[in-house]
Structure 1
């Protein structure tokens, strides 16, 4: 697959990096200026690991807590989409640390719509493979409500197709705030039998 990827004509940048070692407070993360991205995920973040327990997103395929490959090692959001979500909600800001972000980008249009198998490459050689869209859920919604009980529209509906993407580490390396992001996109096609 990698040899079939096409490099997009534009690049994004890393606006912010966030991590939390504690799964109980894993959505409210703290800022770091750089982080090592390993095959097991982002060093110092609670969502790393080669495997994870299946959850409510996988109930049609597995019983809850079945050990599965961790394709959700990293959560990636964009400054632009977070601003759009805040606008729809009628609040000044949706902070990335409220919604579980690890990498916050700037300059990648419609980040959430990047297709699975897209590669995000960083100057150190680190490469993140996009697994899927990260659908909005109630956990960040609860955090946002604590900060903004006056919101006009709830997070789950406001953030649909704007919550970013999740992915896994294909090549290790350090990612720094301000790094350029080169985007490699797979061939586009529609599976007509779905």
Structure 2
């Protein structure tokens, strides 16, 4: 009985839900099946499957190294339809890597946002409500990897080891992945509001 009581909701210290406003600084699509790099566009029309024609589109996807609890190639729900980056965090990554700039399209961005502090750290279940009516639900942060780092390195041929350096320095700054909860059209320059849910820390008992 004591174990059950320890998990009662009133034993958790919670942070109330709140909102944070930001802006779309850039929109990018679509990456093909062989390369996750994206190209700047004026707008994107998203459906329940994500960005039509994009390599990450679809209701489902195949598991990979991020899902060691499944055999590689297991079909699963696609919670990684879109990639969302922060202009402020890209500046930080570039400074940490000691490079002149880090363009969002190099690492597969679909949305580049500004004005939302510590974007990569917003919690799962956050809703990004765009001015147009599009809603993207955040699944979680996007872990940096060597493959993305390799595309950065292609733009700095005189520097060695940038692929590994990106994986080290971009942790906690690499942005978010999410899925379309309500379809719509997003345009560069429009506003976006992050609806941060109530939060708590679930500790080991």
Give the structure-2-normalised TM-score: 0.87
Q: CA deviation at 1:124?
A: 1.9
CA RMSD of aligned residues (A): 1.6
1:52 to 43, 54, 61: 61
Is residue 49–residue 73 contact of structure 1 (8 Å, CA) maintained in 2?
A: yes
**Is structure 2 residue 121 aligned with structure 1 residue 99?**
no
**Is structure 2 residue 14 aligned with structure 1 residue 14?**
no
**Is structure 2 residue 192 aligned with structure 1 residue 181?**
yes
Once residues 149 and 85 of structure 2 are traced to their aligned partners in structure 1, the CA distance between those partners, rounded to angstroms, is: 16
Is residue 37–residue 174 contact of structure 1 (8 Å, CA) maintained in 2?
A: yes
Is residue 84–residue 176 contact of structure 2 (8 Å, CA) maintained in 1?
A: yes
Which of structures 1 and 2 has the bigger CA Rg?
2
Which residue does 1:40 correspond to in 2? 49
1:158-169 aligned within 5 A: 158-169=169-180
Which residue does 1:67 correspond to in 2? 75
Unaligned runs of 5+ in 1: none
Secondary structure, counterpart of 1:42 in structure 2:
coil
Measured against aligned partners, the alpha-carbon deviations of 1:127-169 in whole angstroms (never above 9, x if no partner) come to: 0000011000011111111212426861011101000000001
**Is structure 2 residue 153 aligned with structure 1 residue 150?**
no
Is residue 35–residue 43 contact of structure 1 (8 Å, CA) maintained in 2?
A: no
Once residues 116 and 141 of structure 2 are traced to their aligned partners in structure 1, the CA distance between those partners, rounded to angstroms, is: 15
Once residues 20 and 119 of structure 1 are traced to their aligned partners in structure 2, the CA distance between those partners, rounded to angstroms, is: 22
Which residue does 1:114 correspond to in 2? 122
Which residue does 1:29 correspond to in 2? 38
Once residues 70 and 145 of structure 2 are traced to their aligned partners in structure 1, the CA distance between those partners, rounded to angstroms, is: 20
> Are residues 35 and 125 of structure 1, via their aligned partners in 2, closer, same or farther at CA, if it must alter by over 3 Å?
same
Q: CA deviation at 1:21?
A: 4.3
Which residue does 1:127 correspond to in 2? 135
Once residues 73 and 40 of structure 2 are traced to their aligned partners in structure 1, the CA distance between those partners, rounded to angstroms, is: 30
Once residues 113 and 33 of structure 2 are traced to their aligned partners in structure 1, the CA distance between those partners, rounded to angstroms, is: 23
Q: CA deviation at 1:44?
A: 3.7
Q: CA deviation at 1:20?
A: 2.3
Once residues 53 and 161 of structure 1 are traced to their aligned partners in structure 2, the CA distance between those partners, rounded to angstroms, is: 25
